[in-house]
Amino acid sequence: MAEENGSASGDSAAQGATAQGLRMQVLAQFVRDMSFENIVAQKGLTGSDLQPDIQVAVSLDARKRPAPNQYEVTTKYKVTSKNKANGDTLFLLECDYVGIFHIDGVPEDQLHPFLLIECPRLLFPFVRRIISDITRDGGFPALNVDTVDFVTMYRQEIARRAQAQQAATVN
């Protein structure tokens, strides 16, 4: 199995970069944009009839910055909690969390997976804490977001792009 021995495409990118003298430095990390809408409080609903169903959507973006070897990686989280009983939204949280990285020693062909796997992996514990604090401070139980598998996300996005490209060439 490729995933077990570390030869999967996303994992091998990180391992290959490490073997060649990778240097990565987190220059900054910050919340670029955040919104929390407490629909329960706005509508005056009571807690006894609420049965939350929580959905978490994650998207990623990475781009080169003007400075040499600097990259900006944005992780976007959209957390929606709906009442299982009637489908009404209980709360909506959107958070764009950004990391600015200085990266040396990653071959060009491995940079894309490195930026969209390893960098978000480093940012995740910080954004998880923010989401937990915001939901708790918003009057709900603290939400501890499950660990995100950025390797699988990357593979799914590559497969989606390949399908889209193949469909475009067929048409």
Whether CATH 3.30.420.40 fits 25-166: no
pLDDT of 19: 52
Domain residue extents for the chain: 25-166
pTM confidence score: 0.81
Q: Which amino acid is at 159?
A: A
- CA angle 128–140–80, rounded 5-degree value: 65
Q: Where are the alpha helices (DSSP H) in 20-118?
A: 39-43, 108-113
Q: Kindly state the greatest CA–CA separation across the chain.
A: 58
Question: Per-residue pLDDT tens for 102-161?
Answer: 999 999 999 999 999 999 999 999 999 999 999 999 989 999 999 999 999 999 999 998
Question: Per-residue pLDDT tens for 42-83?
Answer: 877 665 566 789 999 999 999 999 999 999 999 999 999 998
- Which residues have a Cβ under 8 Å from the Cβ of 66 and sit 6 or more positions away? none
Selected residue with higher pLDDT from 15 and 71: 71
